[in-house]
């Protein structure tokens, strides 16, 4: 795959990841705002992060240096992946670290089993984590950059008269 192909694939995956997070978060955020209660911080965080992804893509398309956006994307996608595990396997579904959450939901199984069960019972979660994992890999490839062109390669493209 060419570098342009990697960019397009990463862009498409980033749009999909943003869409999933906004799709999941927006209705829950509206419900929380209507109720005046915030028992779960994820809806607001997911909507904001989804919008941030789309704005980052727009900035890259507008000609800005993509490297800071690749780095921010690596951080955000890593946070999505680590946060999923922390929330479901170690955080009691928010009950241990979010002050307005209901009582923690504690699991007796090992963390890997808990995460696997959550992923297998919620197809949207599974799709999200798969897309995020692939996106993370592509962002790392893009951030590492392309090799510098040699003088010979430049001469072939530009020509030597």
pLDDT in tens, 94-128: 655 666 666 667 777 888 898 899 899 999 999 99
In the structure, what pLDDT confidence band is assigned to residue 154 with cuts at 50, 70 and 90? very low
Say which residues have a Cβ less than 8 Å from residue 50's Cβ, sequence separation at least 6.
17, 18, 19, 20, 21, 22, 25
Check pLDDT > 90 for residue 44. yes
pLDDT of residue 4: 85
Does 13 score more than 70 pLDDT?
yes
Residue 24: name the closest of 109, 124, 146, 100 by CA: 124
Q: Compute the C-alpha angle 109/112/113, nearest 5°.
A: 45
**71 contact partners, CB below 8 Å, separation of at least 6:** 143
**66-76 average pLDDT score:** 96
Locate 15 and state its tokens: 């749009």
Single out the residue of 56, 30, 62, 60 nearest to residue 43, CA to CA: 30
pLDDT value of residue 37: 85
């Amino acid at each position: 795959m060419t570098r342009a192909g990697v960019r397009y694939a990463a862009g498409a995956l980033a749009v999909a990841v943003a869409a999933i997070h906004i799709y999941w978060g927006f209705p829950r955020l509206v419900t929380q705002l209507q109720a005046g209660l915030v028992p779960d911080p994820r809806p607001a965080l997911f909507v904001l992060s989804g919008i941030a992804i789309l704005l980052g893509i727009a900035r890259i398309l507008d000609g800005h240096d993509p490297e800071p956006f690749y780095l921010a994307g690596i951080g955000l996608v890593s946070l999505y992946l680590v946060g999923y595990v922390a929330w479901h396997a170690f955080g009691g579904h928010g009950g241990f670290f979010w002050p307005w959450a209901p009582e923690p939901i504690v699991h007796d199984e090992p963390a890997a089993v808990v995460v696997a069960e959550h992923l297998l019972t919620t197809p949207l979660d599974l799709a999200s984590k798969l897309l995020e994992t692939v996106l993370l890999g592509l962002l790392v490839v893009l951030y590492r950059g392309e090799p510098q062109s040699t003088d010979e390669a430049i001469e072939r493209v530009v020509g030597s008269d």
